[in-house]
Amino acid sequence: MAGGRWITNIDSDDYWLPERLQEFAHFIKTRPQVGFLFSNGYLYRYGRIIGMAFDPARPIAEGKVPGHYAVGEEFLPYLTTNLAIPRALYQKYGHYRKDMIILDNELYARMLADGVEVGVIRRPLAVRRIHGGQVTHKWIEEYPEAVEALKAGGAPPEVFAAEKIKLVLEVAKYLWRNIQPRKAREFMEKELGSAAQGHSLYLKTFLPASVLSLAKTLRQGGLMLRHHPLWASEDEQRVYRIINPLIARETAPRS
């Protein structure tokens, strides 16, 4: 139904900062050949801004890149809320696959594989909220869709094999860090076979859940202390002033 020349996303639990659209419009005017444009963004968790989607100084490939770059955060650390694509490309490449309920990068992989150029705005222009209710926390369900996206990106066999292993380890790491060591180990065994035992993460899955739970609690406490609003940067303070009233409105009891 969108009628504009560009389509840009915002997830239902995230926020754009006031200058976001202006910054995107300026970039589009200066580099009109770009068709896959994403910005940096702040990450918000435990009532804190805990960092950015990527280090602004990080090297990120722009221009024409391989299609499999759209899968995972290894090459292109984009978030859906920070992404903009011309409407004409949706018309050319079709819609998101309806049988893929979690990921949208299969479509993006097809675009990049066909030569759509990437552009990056390194300034954080949105706020991604991280919490337990998100569909992106369905790691095992997400895995086969990520594999389909790798295929759509046209990765050569040796690249596909290497990237698939990275996906397995990424999913297993998420499970392990969220106190599901047995499920992480079984997933690695299923997808990697005997090769799973050669990864250090596999050995870590034998740690008791109580130890992992304590480590998670300590990690959360460390994040909350290290990123307390009292010593936030000037721009982070500005972001708090923007989003805190909105979050308070969400959580306020309804009369």
Euclidean distance between CA atoms 188 and 182, whole angstroms: 10
Residue type present at position 218: L
pLDDT of residue 136: 46
Whether residue 170 is contained in a domain is answered as yes
10 and 104 inside one domain: yes
189 and 91 part of one domain? no
Name every residue whose Cβ is closer than 8 Å to that of residue 113 and which is 6 or more positions away in sequence.
Answer: 66, 67, 152, 153, 154
254 belongs to a structural domain: no
Q: Does residue 222 form part of some domain?
A: no
Q: Which tokens sit at 178?
A: 């969220």
pLDDT given for residue 128 in this prediction: 95
Which of 129, 147, 180 finishes a domain?
A: 129
Q: Each residue of 131-183: pLDDT tens digit?
A: 765 544 577 888 998 999 999 999 999 999 999 999 999 999 999 998 999 99
pLDDT tens per residue, range 105-127: 899 999 999 999 999 999 999 99
Do 40 and 77 lie in a common domain? Answer: yes
Q: Work out the percent of the chain whose per-residue pLDDT is above 90.
A: 80
Residues 66 and 17 in one domain: yes
Residue 246 has pLDDT above 50, yes or no: yes
What is the pLDDT confidence band of residue 72, given thresholds at 50, 70 and 90? confident
Query: How many domains in the chain?
Result: 2
96 and 183 both lie in a single domain: no
Give the CA count within 13 Å in the CB-facing half-sphere of 48.
Answer: 17
Nearest Cα to Cα of residue 10 among 26, 1, 21: 21
| Report field, pTM of the whole predicted structure over 0.85 | yes
23: pLDDT strictly greater than 80: yes
Average confidence score pLDDT of the chain:
92
pLDDT digits (tens, 9 = 90+) for 29-64: 999 999 999 999 999 999 999 999 999 999 999 999
Domain termination site, one of 207, 222, 239: 207
Q: Between these two residues, 7 and 137, which has the higher pLDDT value?
A: 7
| Same structural domain, 10 and 124 | yes
Q: Give a yes or no: residue 139 inside a domain.
A: no
Domain extent at residue 188? 156-207
* Within-domain flag for 57: yes
Residue 255: predicted pLDDT: 67
For residue 23, what are the contacts with CB-CB under 8 A and spacing of at least 6? 39, 121, 123, 125
Question: What pLDDT sits at residue 94?
Answer: 85
- Cα–Cα distance, 45 to 92 (Å, whole number): 37
Residue 235, domain member (yes or no)? no
Whether pLDDT at 68 is above 60? yes
Q: Tell me: do 71 and 125 sit in the same domain.
A: yes
Asked whether residue 103 falls in the same domain as residue 14, the answer is yes
Do residues 182 and 95 both lie within one domain?
A: no
Pair 19, 127: CB distance under 8 Å: no
For residue 103, what pLDDT band results from cuts at 50, 70 and 90? low
Place of tokens 């990921």: 103
Whether the predicted pLDDT of 232 surpasses 80: yes
Per-residue confidence (pLDDT) for residue 159, from 0 to 100: 95
| 21: CATH | 3.90.550.10
Amino acid at the residue 31:
R
Q: Are residues 89 and 163 in the same domain?
A: no
Co-location of 169 and 58 in the same domain: no
Same domain, 15 and 118: yes
Residue 237 lies in a domain: no
* Mean pLDDT to the nearest integer, 225-241: 96
In terms of Cα–Cα distance, which of 26, 28, 46, 49 is closest to 37? 28
Q: If pLDDT is split at 50, 70 and 90, which confidence band does 96 have? A: confident
Q: Does residue 228 lie within any of the structural domains? A: no
Give the pLDDT score at 135.
43
pLDDT of residue 142: 85
